[in-house]
Amino acid sequence: MTQAHSLPRVTYTSTEDFSPLQDYLDGRLPQFRQDMLGRHWPSIVAGEARDQGDVVLCHSPVDETVLLGSYAAADGATVADAIQAARKGFAVWGRMDWRERLKHMRRLADVLDRHRHDLAMAIVLEVGKSRMEALGEAEEALALIHYYADEFERNNGYVSPAWRSADGSEQAQTQLRPMGVFAVVTPFNYPVALAANMLGAALVAGNSVIFKPTPNAALTAGMLARVFEQAELPQGVFNLVYGQEAGPLLMDSDGIDGVAFTGSNATGMGMLRKFASERYMRPVLAEMGGKNYAYVTASADFDIAVNGVTRSAFGFQGQRCTACSVAMVHESLYDRFVDALARQAAKILPGDTADRAVTHGPLINRAALDRYLAAAEHGRRAGRVVCGGERLQGGLFDKGAFVKPTLIADLAADDRLYRDELFAPVLVVSRFKTLEEAIARGNQVDYGLTAGLYSKDEAEIQQFLDHVQTGVMYVNRLTGATNGAWPGIQSFSGWKGSGITGKGALGPHYLPQFMREQSRTIRVIR
């Protein structure tokens, strides 16, 4: 029998044959369903289960008749107790020698490693990701914990000598110190990796955390809580509160020292405005979506560009903040490129993502379906729907929000579909004469997360790198025009409406944002 620890590891850009890993999942999935589905997940406060609050049932978006489980929506008392527990936990964790703290975090990574395949299966069932994307997400979560621990060590705990007097009696140093209690608020689309990213960075930096997952991801959140329990962090360092109202309750408390958030621009900016209006500013570290353009020039490798744009636009049903949602194509390639995209889109047939052969699942819920259908209808009125624009029906498709990948062309240059984030498999295509013109149109968008270019011309590549206003840039990427970042390789920074600080996750400038600087000057008197 194949041992899980010996199986190959997956990234978002993997193209190898993973048959042994798929075989393992085929054998493991029935037992996983039996063991993990239908459970009730309580909030966790200082290591203790808290079950006060209304019970909410959770169903799979792949098959809405499948009960994933339930959770207790935390009431005000539970949230208040979680804050108090986190403050007590910080009193221990924040004062711990950073070397000891990293031992705890690396032990946490070891536990996460043992559970990565089960977490991937939970992602498949809970949010409708394909197996390979879910496996990549679980591996990324593990890589993030290791990366931040390694970064903290590489920077010597962020303690830097600054000055020493000539006689050696007085010296100064700067030191980054943890802030206290961070609320970590996560979305549905990367329920494990984004949780690990924000929780991991906050904890490595010495803060305690209160984890508030999206209501769409109670299963993965409960499983992550078990990982933290098995890692045996000090009591109160990690806490979990479920429910829609837990977020506002956390934001209203002065017991929170900062918030790490991934979600909509409206929510993230609302948090920032609220915190900025109080006695003093508390950090809001937010990644807030994108409207990601890909530029295809006349010199592009045509097949690579078609493949990269298709994968980026329609992978995970477009439910990624990095999804390519606008393709700007040089007029000499435009008609042929649109036809090629339509042929590629026609090959995509969503289904049950627990099946190893299925690469695309449903939208997360009916609200996402309504947004998709509204965009398609707008495309019919304002331009031309080349393909898609419809809900799939019959059999399994009637049990979830399954839709066709959609390609829209011939919209006016000022159409809202060039600006609005849809979080659905909708790609808008437009022609351009000059790259300068295309970049200018892309830069008018309020978001600035990722962008991609397909070109063989060095001058065009440099023009793209110098002038496009996004934090993440890809050139000639086969596996995705605008997505596929990995810890320690591509920093993930949102500009403009995509982020608040201009310093992103997955890279060397993320961790310091969970700390504040202190200058220490000491004169020794003997």
Tell me: the pLDDT tens digits for 157-212?
999 999 999 988 899 999 999 999 999 999 999 999 999 999 999 999 999 999 99
Does residue 456 fall inside a structural domain?
Answer: yes
Do 199 and 211 form a contact (C-beta atoms < 8 A)?
yes
Residue 321 and residue 275 in one domain: no
d(CA 460, CA 304): 17
Q: Are residues 331 and 480 in the same domain?
A: yes
235-257 per-position pLDDT tens digit = 999 999 999 999 999 999 999 99
**What is the pLDDT confidence band of residue 1, given thresholds at 50, 70 and 90?**
very low
Residue 9: predicted pLDDT:
87
Q: Per residue in 42-86, pLDDT tens?
A: 999 999 999 999 999 999 999 999 999 999 999 999 999 999 999
**What type of residue sits at position 60?**
S
Is 324 a catalytic site residue? no
**Which CATH number belongs to the domain containing residue 55 in this structure?**
3.40.605.10
Same domain, 372 and 283: no
The two beta strands, 292-296 and 159-164, are unpaired
In this structure, how many other beta carbons lie within 10 angstroms of the beta carbon of residue 87?
A: 16
- Domain membership of residue 313 (yes or no) is yes
Based on the fold, state whether residues 196 and 313 are members of the same structural domain: no
- Same domain (yes/no): 345, 445: yes
- Residue 497 inside a domain? The answer is no
**At 382, which CATH number?**
3.40.309.10
Contact 298, 333 (CB under 8 A): yes
pLDDT digits (tens, 9 = 90+) for 100-130: 999 999 999 999 999 999 999 999 999 999 9
Claim to verify: residue 308 and residue 271 sit in the same structural domain: no
Q: Is 526 within a domain?
A: no
**Does the global pTM surpass 0.85?**
yes
Select which of 287, 324, 387, 460 is catalytic.
Answer: 287
User: Do 68 and 60 contact (CB within 8 A), yes or no?
Assistant: yes
99 and 73 assigned to the same domain:
yes
pLDDT computed for residue 8 by the predictor: 79
| Together in a domain, 419 and 376 | yes
Answer whether residue 3 shows pLDDT above 70.
no
For the residues 294-319, what does the mean pLDDT come to? 97
Determine whether 151 is an active site residue.
Answer: no
Q: Does position 14 have pLDDT exceeding 80, yes or no?
A: no
411: closest CA among 465, 338, 504?
Answer: 338
279 and 424 co-located in one domain: no
Residue 120, in any domain of the structure: yes
Of the candidates 239, 244, 219, 186, the one whose C-alpha atom is nearest the C-alpha of residue 41 is: 219
- Do 297 and 282 reside in the same domain of the chain? no
Task: Tell me the average pLDDT across 198-227.
Answer: 97
What is the rounded distance in angstroms from the CA atom of residue 387 to the CA atom of residue 379?
A: 11
Q: Is the pLDDT of residue 2 over 80?
A: no
Q: Where are the beta strands (DSSP E) in 165-236?
A: 170-178, 181-185, 208-212
pLDDT class for 5, splitting at 50, 70, 90?
low
Residue 501, pLDDT score? 93
Looking at residues 333-352, what average pLDDT do you find?
96
Q: Where are the beta strands (DSSP E) in 274-424?
A: 284-287, 292-296, 324-330, 384-387, 406-409
Domain co-membership, 460 together with 322: yes
Catalytic residue among 321, 324, 387, 460: 321
H-helix segments, 347-457: 366-382, 435-443
CA 275, CA 269: separation in Å to the nearest integer?
10
Q: What confidence category does residue 524 fall into, taking pLDDT thresholds of 50, 70 and 90?
A: confident
Domain containing residue 274: 18-288+504-521
What is the pLDDT, as a whole number, of residue 407?
98
Amino acid at 337: F
Q: Same domain, yes or no, for 299 and 186?
A: no
* 24 vs 10, more confident: 24
Residue 182 lies in a domain: yes
What is residue 168's predicted lDDT score, i.e. its pLDDT?
86
Residue 13 lies in a domain: no
Distances (CA, A) of 460 to 430, 442, 465: 18, 15, 9
> Does residue 6 form part of some domain?
no
Biggest CA–CA distance in the chain, Å, is 85
Number of domains in the chain: 2
Q: To the nearest whole number, what is the mean pLDDT of the chain?
A: 95
